[in-house]
Amino acid sequence: MFELLGVPPQVLMGQLLIGLINGSFYAVLSLGLAVIFGLLNIINFAHGAQYMMGAFVAWMLLNYTGIGYWPALILAPIVVGAIGIALERTMISRLYKLDHLYGLLLTFGLALIIQGLFRNYYGVSGLPYAIPPALQGGQNLGFMFLPNYRGWVIVASVIVCFSTWFMIERTRLGAYLRAATENPELVGAFGINVPRMITLTYGFGVGLAAFAGVLAAPIYSVNPNMGADLIIVVFAVVVIGGMGSIMGAILTGFGLGVIEGLTRVFYPEGSAVVIFVIMAIVLMIKPEGLFGNNA
Residues 122-141 interacting with other proteins (rule: CB under 8 A): 123-128, 130-131, 138
Alpha-carbon distance of 25 to 181, in angstroms, equals: 27
Q: Which distant-in-sequence residues (6+ apart) come within 8 Å of 278 by Cβ?
A: 236, 240, 256, 259
- Residue nearer to other proteins on the CB measure, 78 or 225: 225
60, 83, 89, 108: which one binds other proteins (CB under 8 A): 108
From the list 14-22, 65-73, 186-194, 247-255, the region that binds other proteins by CB under 8 A is 14-22
Mask of contacts with other proteins, 190-229, x by CB under 8 A? -----------------------------xxx-x-xx--x
Which of the residues 236 through 255 are near other proteins (CB under 8 A)?
236, 239, 243
Alpha-carbon distance of 180 to 159, in angstroms, equals: 26
Binding flag, residue 232, other proteins (CB under 8 A): yes
43, 57, 85, 180: which one binds other proteins (CB under 8 A): 43
Can you name the residues that pair with 7 across neighbouring β-strands? Answer: 4
- Residue nearer to other proteins on the CB measure, 166 or 229: 229
Binding flag, residue 265, other proteins (CB under 8 A): yes
Alpha-carbon distance of 184 to 25, in angstroms, equals: 32
Binding flag, residue 99, other proteins (CB under 8 A): yes
Binding flag, residue 185, other proteins (CB under 8 A): no
Give how many residues touch other proteins by CB under 8 A: 77
14, 48, 54, 248: which one binds other proteins (CB under 8 A): 14
Q: Which distant-in-sequence residues (6+ apart) come within 8 Å of 287 by Cβ?
A: 295
Distance of closest approach, residue 26 Cβ to other proteins, in angstroms: 11
Q: At what angle do helices 47-60 and 230-241 cross, to 10 degrees?
A: 120
- Residue nearer to other proteins on the CB measure, 137 or 171: 137
Distance of closest approach, residue 166 Cβ to other proteins, in angstroms: 27
- Residue nearer to other proteins on the CB measure, 71 or 270: 270
Q: At what angle do helices 148-170 and 194-216 cross, to 10 degrees?
A: 170
Alpha-carbon distance of 277 to 23, in angstroms, equals: 17
Strand segments, DSSP code E, in the chain are 138-140, 145-147
What is residue 138's DSSP assignment? E
Which of the residues 51 through 70 are near other proteins (CB under 8 A)?
none
Distance of closest approach, residue 273 Cβ to other proteins, in angstroms: 4
Alpha-carbon distance of 184 to 163, in angstroms, equals: 25
Binding flag, residue 164, other proteins (CB under 8 A): no
Q: Please state, in angstroms and as integers, the Cα–Cα distance from residue 58 to each residue in 116, 130, 157, 187, following that order.
A: 19, 11, 17, 37
- Residue nearer to other proteins on the CB measure, 103 or 207: 103
Binding flag, residue 259, other proteins (CB under 8 A): no
Distance of closest approach, residue 228 Cβ to other proteins, in angstroms: 9
Q: Are the CB atoms for 236 and 279 separated by under 8 Å?
A: yes
